[in-house]
Structure 1
Amino acid sequence: MTQAVVIDINLENAQRVIIEGSQDKLVIIDFWADWCESCKQLMPTLEKLAAAFPTQVVLAKVNCDEQQQLATQFNIRSLPTVIFFKDGQPVDGFAGVERESTIRARIEKYLPTVDDELVTQALKCVETGEYEQGYTLAKQAVDINPDSSQAQIVLADAACELGRLEQAEQLLSSIRMVDQDQYFQHVMSKLNVAKQAADSPELRQLAEQLTSAPDNHELRLELAAKLYAAHRAEEALEHIFAVLRQDLNFGQAKQQALDMLNALPKGDPLAASYRRKLYSMLY
């Protein structure tokens, strides 16, 4: 059985365990005393629950008979008293004895969910330049929790780095004003720079030529290749599929489409969408 992380608190280690320790984990402080029967009843429950989350929860025990100054600092009026610390602040607590299921529910409110952990991993990947892995992890987080603005912003960041500018723009446009934090502004600026770089005079000239000769498949495929190289994948694929819809066997159009789809990051909905379109044409 996994052992709970249990630490006896005193004046010397309180700052490190409670304030600093709660930056990474949920710290549950149990104020107790030897003479308190209710404390003895509650303690095994707390230890059992802390053992259930060994990497996420620390159980900190304060013997109030021995650490009266700490009990006074926390304004403890009755025993047992339990206080939850997260990010250096008290976030929850109760006095007396509660059922195990009730305490578990309190704990789970402050633990990272699966999508939170995926977002954390995705952000680390983006920060270290592992953009495809970051994209895949962030996409998984969004699939689990579509309402997570943080997951959407990280996905937009990875998408922008991979040249999926249309998707990045769509994701950022859905972020509520209240969630438009400094990181959001950073990704938005990155997107704007990328969009400007993707709109070259050469691309504009090819587009103008195609407007004058819309049935020139060679020109359309050339434009598609240039668009893809400029990280405008959706526009590139649409041009290739415009050719395929008219002539499925024209030149290297099918291979060009497959190469572009295979180059998109794993989990990219654009790839899934256009693969379905291609398969419906082929079969």
Structure 2
Amino acid sequence: MEAVLELTKDNIQDVVDASMKQIVVLAFWSQQSPESVALSQTLTGMAQKQFGRFVLAKVDCDKEIEIANYFQIQNMPTTLVLSEGKPIDGFAGLQEEEQIAAMLDKHLPAQWQLQLNEAKNLLALQDAEPALVLLKQAYTESPNAEIALVYADACLMLDDFEFAAELLATVGLADQDSYYQSLKAKLALALDAADSPEIRQLQQLVDNEPDNITQLLLLVKALHQAKRNEEALAILFSPLSKDIGVANGDAKQLFLEILTALGQGNTLANQYRRKLYSLLY
């Protein structure tokens, strides 16, 4: 349903039905009342800014007298909050946006809950990248276990095993349900698959010859390909911190390529980008 609509006799049943699942704000107004026109504009702006949190149904009482009478409207403006077909709150007269927001917040879902729900829908369609954007915003607002689990699920879909592991580590015992257990199992399988014989062999060679930069670069490339980027960057940063031009600049070039592949918004990339800048400047 649209964020803002005009309530009439023709669509009133649709609006009442919508209130069974979502808060509907009824704004009774009249062109004869400047205050109600001003309030209607304020509510319209709020509904558009908070799209998805509530539906604003505006009632032009000059045209829809029957609807106004049904709700026993005595004064203009009057605002009612409708839930499950019944008024549960409201106010008469003009109020500031901050006062209205405080009243509505008692009844509306948090923004993070809406973002989480939308992310779940996207993940059900295997569309993980836009879901990840919503989950990052939701987790920033409210870093709770409910979001962390879905966030970890999205990370696993996108092969970001390290951050998925970090998120799962934040989930307390009380929230370690069957969903959590399934994600832990997915992560374990992904990490096992990423620990190939080639990587183990390269790791052994680097352990035996820690100053062999050629072997080290091969190990870093293999780790990056296996999505084990935190390990790759940590290993590569060690020789770079001693000599930024090591391996004729190949090490720095590989380091930058991994950061670029991770993307601008990646937390790990940003962390190591700052470390690199500290060496350069």
Give the alignment's TM-score, normalised by structure 1: 0.68
Paired residues of 1:227 and 1:236 also in contact (CA < 8 A): yes
Distance 2:202 2:210 in 1: 11
Paired residues of 1:160 and 1:191 also in contact (CA < 8 A): yes
* 2:171 aligned counterpart, secondary structure: coil
Residues 50-199 of structure 1 mapped to structure 2, 5 A cutoff: 50-55=43-48, 56=51, 57-59=55-57, 84-85=81-82, 88=84, 92-94=88-90, 97=92, 100-101=95-96, 102-110=99-107, 131-132=128-129, 134-143=131-140, 145-147=141-143, 149=145, 152-176=148-172, 187-199=183-195
Percent identity over the alignment? 30
Once the 2 structures are TM-superposed, how far is the Cα of residue 4 of structure 1 from its aligned partner? 5.5
**What is the number of residues matched between the two proteins?**
262
Offset from partner CA, 1:140-160 (integer Å, 9 cap, x none) = 4444x2535555445434433
Distance 2:82 2:45 in 1: 18
Paired residues of 2:36 and 2:94 also in contact (CA < 8 A): no
Paired residues of 1:163 and 1:233 also in contact (CA < 8 A): no
Paired residues of 1:136 and 1:267 also in contact (CA < 8 A): no
Change in 2 beyond 3 A, CA 1:213/1:106: same
Once the 2 structures are TM-superposed, how far is the Cα of residue 115 of structure 1 from its aligned partner? 5.4
Distance 1:53 1:22 in 2: 21
Change in 2 beyond 3 A, CA 1:177/1:20: farther
* 2:219 aligned counterpart, secondary structure: helix
Name the residue aligned to 2:206: 210
Once the 2 structures are TM-superposed, how far is the Cα of residue 254 of structure 1 from its aligned partner? 0.7
Paired residues of 2:122 and 2:130 also in contact (CA < 8 A): yes
Once the 2 structures are TM-superposed, how far is the Cα of residue 256 of structure 1 from its aligned partner? 0.5
Distance 1:197 1:241 in 2: 25
Paired residues of 1:46 and 1:59 also in contact (CA < 8 A): no
Letter in 2 for 1:28: V
Name the residue aligned to 2:23: 26
Change in 2 beyond 3 A, CA 1:221/1:179: same
Change in 2 beyond 3 A, CA 1:266/1:97: same
Once the 2 structures are TM-superposed, how far is the Cα of residue 8 of structure 1 from its aligned partner? 3.7
* 2:57 aligned counterpart, secondary structure: strand
* 1:18 aligned counterpart, secondary structure: helix
Once the 2 structures are TM-superposed, how far is the Cα of residue 129 of structure 1 from its aligned partner? 5.8
Letter in 2 for 1:267: G
CA RMSD after TM alignment: 4.5
Offset from partner CA, 1:51-108 (integer Å, 9 cap, x none) = 23344423276x9x968xx88xxxx9x989976345x5869425x7476244442224
Please list every run of 5 or more consecutive structure 2 residues that lacks an aligned counterpart in the other structure. Answer: none
Paired residues of 2:220 and 2:236 also in contact (CA < 8 A): yes
Paired residues of 2:79 and 2:92 also in contact (CA < 8 A): no
